[in-house]
Every structure is written in structure tokens, then in C-alpha cells.
Amino acid sequence: MPKPSTAYRCETCGAQAPRWSGRCPDCGAWNTLTEIARGSKIRTGRAGADLRSDSAPSRLLTLSEVEGDREERHSTGLGELDRVLGGGFVPGSVVLVGGDPGIGKSTLLLQAGAHLARGEPVIYVSGEESPLQVASRSRRLGLACENLSLLAETHLETIIPLIRKARPRMVVIDSIQTVYSDLVESAPGSVTQLRESTAALVRLAKTTGSALFIIGHVTKEGAIAGPRVLEHLVDTVLYFENDLGSRYRIVRSVKNRYGAANETGIFIMTENGLREVRNPSAIFLSSRLEGVSGSAITVMREGSRPMLVEVQALVDEAQSMPPRRITVGTDPPRLALLLAIFNRHSGQSVAGRDVFVNVVGGLRINETAVDLPVLLAVWSNLTDRPLPHDLIAFGEVGLSGEIRPVFGGEERLRESVKHGFTKALVPRGNVSRQERKEAGDLRIVNRLDECFLAVESWLASG
């Protein structure tokens, strides 16, 4: 039997299927299969193909031959951005920056580009905004940028020779979804275009040594629109996040060949562009009320950085059955589990009551260290007793009411001492002898009921 002459390719993941279906068998996306001619190969890897790397013939190297030299790093002028990049950017590296529209991607890279352009050539390629828009924004932000060149172009084969010739220190592509190559048959913005344009730009960065920052739009599901394969092509992937419409912006590295993944940089969006938040603990605690029940302070970790945050709880007579258990900023199923442990091991009960938990500042805590502070806030609101204002707590709570150690205990304690906290409830195994001496009134706790006894004794002693 002759083979059918057509096949189907998913516009999201690039997978091929012999037959059409409503849902991609590979990535599960709906309505993404489009017909292609079977055997018709897109000219993979051809876009911008005049840029062959002129590297030396392959030979085997021993580790000691390649060690020694540390990569050269350049500062973007924004300490928080340098931090997520692993200490500045590396020449020839390619960074993909993803995030929702309007979150501040263009602003961030314009600020970084303008800073760098004080000393070195930078090219900002904009397919989204006109040069007039970009220039007026940079003027409004007070960015002086002699060496910042703007290029309003989306045609890859025009962009590449210009960059080759100018050899800038840094190039911003805003955004990859607007770029298209003549050598690819499919439409701009399609998976093939995205992949081929990115691959050509990566080759360009590697051969010229210019660092490339590529802006990518994010789909509703939160992935950079188009194939995941873009993430594999580049060296570093940064995502811009913010919660609940707050002015804070977190830039997180989800992949980094030149630094730690999951590192974060924190910014605040102001009328004058993005400002760095160098001391997040001070900011997130700044509007805290003292002497109020239902508030507990904990130390979370954002990337490698410990950060003080306030966890609040409100316990109320249930308005309906079953009672509501709602949390914003922590894991919802885990709240139900923690409340069951609380009912069993605290000598108190929230049965028949609604419980609401909130992490202040629109932050999200994805670690079990928040278990103990959540239950302390619940206990405090239920019994209407404010916790000591200079108390911090962290620790995982197990099903038998045991308090388990968490990662990075000593750093968390150091951060809280730095901000004037003198009382701490800390799991055994999370503190060294030295910390015990320095941390003021530190209680090592093994079980949940001990925590409440410790709080009561602090409250009794005034």
C-alpha cells in the first residue's frame, strides 16, 4: 500500500504524527497539529547558515587543560540581574527572558543595555516598538546611551550581518516571536521559525562573542510561546514573575549554564523604571502591625537568598459546611494536612471553623519550612494571642506532630538576627553551636506542642 503523502506537525512541540488528531500525542496541546508534506524537510539548521563556526579541528582535552581560566563576566549595571545571571553575563552567552506582556522585560533590558552602552556598543533590535517609542522611553527613564543603537528590524538575514559587522558587547532581541528567516517556509511566529531563528542567533553569539538577550512571550500556561526546544538552545533561561498585581517583580533563572538555577533577583516597578530591591526582608516586613494575633514571621529562601516574610492566618466560625480552608501563597492541599496535624497535636482544634492563610506581599512559598509558621499564625489567631514581635520560626511539621529540619537553617537564622529578631523556634539539626550562642533566645523544638508551650512561656514572661 502506498504511504499517504501528508503528515502532521505540532506547532507547540514540533512532534510529528502520521494522522491528524485534535490533541498532540506528544505534548497534549489542543488544535496544534498542522498538515505538512511527508518527507518535506524544513531546511533545519540553515537559517543564517553563512555563520559557520571557524573553530579548530576537534581534539581531546584533559580537564587540567581547560580548567584555570574563569569566564569573563560583565555587569549589566543592575546588581539583581547580575545575581540571577550568576555574577554578570558571559561574552557569547545567550539568555532567553520570558514573562507576561507588560511585566517589564523591555524595560529591564533597555536599562541594562543603556548602562552597558556607556562604555561599549550595544544593539537593541526591536520588532515590537518603533525606534521613537524606545528612544522616548529611554529618555523618560533618564538613560544616557551614546553607544546604544536601535534597530527596527524583524528580518533575520538583515539583522545578522549588521550585528556581525558592529560586534557589540550586547544585543537585545525584542522579541523572538517577531523575527523571521527567509530560509524557513513557515510563517513568522511558528515553531519552526522560532527554532531556526534562535539557532541562527545562538551561532551568531558563539562566533562573534556578543552576548545575546532574547525576549520571549509567555503563553497563558506560563511556558515561553513555541517549543520548549528554545530553552534547550540557549545557555540561560530567565522568567519574570509577579503575583497578585503587586509592584514587585521576581526574575528567576530556571536554567543557567553559567550559574545556579533557581536564583532570583527582586525588583520593584516604579514610574522611573525597575528599581532593585537589595534588602527584601526589610521591605516585606515594613508594613507589619505589632501586637496583632494571627501573624507569624518566617524566613523563606528565594534561590540562595534567605528572606523574612510575614504569614497571616484568620480563623473564623464556619459560614457553611464543610468549613473553608483557603491559602494564598502556600500549598492548598498542605494546609488541610497541617490543620489535621494541628487538631491532633496542639491541644486546640479548628474543626467547624473557616481558616484563611496569606503570605504578605504576594509572595509564594513552595517549601515545607513554612509549615510551622502557618500553624503558629493559626494558633495565635484562634487563641487571640499575638506572638512575640521579635519571634521567627521555620520548620517542616510531620504527620506525628514532629518538627523536621529544613534546608539552609543557619543562613535563615543569620538573616533573622541581622534584622533584630531575638527569639526563634528552630528544628533540631538546623543550628550549629555557634549559631546557638549568637541567636539570642533560641528554642530547639522537636514537637508541635513544645512550640506552643515555648510561646506561652515567652508571653508569660512579658
Binding interface with ligand TYD (CB under 6 A):
99, 101-107, 137, 141, 269, 271-273
Taking the C-alpha atoms of residue 140 and residue 110, their distance in angstroms, rounded to an integer, is 12
CA 404, chain centre distance (Å): 27
| Residues numbered 191-220 forming contacts with Mg ion, rule: CB under 5 A | none
What is the smallest separation between the CB atom of 359 and ligand TYD, expressed in angstroms? 24
297 binds, among Mg ion, ligand TYD, none (CB under 5 to 8 A by kind): none
Those residues whose C-beta lies under 8 Å from the C-beta of residue 314, and which sit 6 or more positions away, are: 294, 354, 355, 356, 381
Q: Which residue lies nearer to ligand TYD by CB, 175 or 236? A: 175
195 binds, among ligand TYD, Mg ion, none (CB under 5 to 8 A by kind): none
> Are the beta carbons of 257 and 235 closer than 8 angstroms?
yes
Task: Please give the DSSP secondary-structure letter assigned to residue 360.
Answer: G
Q: Which residue lies nearer to ligand TYD by CB, 101 or 119? A: 101
What is the smallest separation between the CB atom of 366 and ligand TYD, expressed in angstroms? 24
User: What interhelical angle do 156-166 and 191-208 show, nearest 10?
Assistant: 10
> Which residue of this chain has its Cβ atom nearest to Mg ion in the complex?
106
Q: Which residue lies nearer to ligand TYD by CB, 136 or 304? A: 136
Strand runs (DSSP E) across 180-334, as ranges?
Answer: 211-217, 236-241, 248-256, 264-270, 273-276, 295-302, 305-317, 325-328
What is the smallest separation between the CB atom of 99 and ligand TYD, expressed in angstroms? 5
Q: Which residue lies nearer to Mg ion by CB, 106 or 256? A: 106
What is the smallest separation between the CB atom of 101 and ligand TYD, expressed in angstroms? 4
104 binds, among ligand TYD, Mg ion, none (CB under 5 to 8 A by kind): ligand TYD
Q: Which residue lies nearer to ligand TYD by CB, 111 or 312? A: 111
Task: Please provide the distance, in angstroms rounded to a whole number, between the alpha carbons at the two ends of the chain.
Answer: 89
Q: Which residue lies nearer to ligand TYD by CB, 251 or 426? A: 251
What is the smallest separation between the CB atom of 237 and ligand TYD, expressed in angstroms? 16
Q: Which residue lies nearer to Mg ion by CB, 197 or 312? A: 197
Those residues whose C-beta lies under 8 Å from the C-beta of residue 121, and which sit 6 or more positions away, are: 147, 149, 166, 167, 168, 169
Q: Are strands 211-217 and 248-256 parallel, antiparallel or unpaired?
A: unpaired
194 binds, among Mg ion, ligand TYD, none (CB under 5 to 8 A by kind): none
48 binds, among Mg ion, ligand TYD, none (CB under 5 to 8 A by kind): none
| Residues numbered 58-77 forming contacts with Mg ion, rule: CB under 5 A | none
Task: Please give the DSSP secondary-structure letter assigned to residue 130.
Answer: -
- 106 touching Mg ion, by CB under 5 A: yes
Sheet holding 295-302, edge to edge: 325-328, 353-359, 305-317, 295-302, 391-393, 423-427, 441-445
Pick the stretch among 98-106, 258-266, 322-330, 409-417 that binds Mg ion (CB under 5 A): 98-106
C-alpha cell at 294: 494571627
Taking the C-alpha atoms of residue 365 and residue 308, their distance in angstroms, rounded to an integer, is 11
246 binds, among Mg ion, ligand TYD, none (CB under 5 to 8 A by kind): none
Q: Are strands 6-10 and 33-37 parallel, antiparallel or unpaired?
A: antiparallel
What is the smallest separation between the CB atom of 230 and ligand TYD, expressed in angstroms? 17
Taking the C-alpha atoms of residue 424 and residue 454, their distance in angstroms, rounded to an integer, is 10
Phi, psi angles (nearest 5°) of residue 93: -90, 155
C-alpha cell at 290: 505589632
User: What interhelical angle do 332-345 and 371-383 show, nearest 10?
Assistant: 60
138 binds, among Mg ion, ligand TYD, none (CB under 5 to 8 A by kind): none
What is the smallest separation between the CB atom of 174 and Mg ion, expressed in angstroms? 6
Pick the stretch among 23-31, 100-108, 116-124, 296-304 that binds Mg ion (CB under 5 A): 100-108
Which residue blocks in 128-276 are alpha helix, DSSP H? 131-140, 156-166, 191-208, 229-233
Residue 452 has a CB neighbour count (10 Å cut-off) of: 23
103 binds, among Mg ion, ligand TYD, none (CB under 5 to 8 A by kind): ligand TYD
What is the smallest separation between the CB atom of 32 and ligand TYD, expressed in angstroms? 24
- 327 touching Mg ion, by CB under 5 A: no
What is the smallest separation between the CB atom of 123 and Mg ion, expressed in angstroms? 16
What is the smallest separation between the CB atom of 294 and Mg ion, expressed in angstroms? 40
Q: Which residue lies nearer to ligand TYD by CB, 26 or 129? A: 129
- 107 touching Mg ion, by CB under 5 A: no
Tell me the C-alpha to C-alpha distance, in Å, between residue 399 and each of 300, 302, 448: 22, 26, 10
Residues that bind Mg ion (CB under 5 A): 106
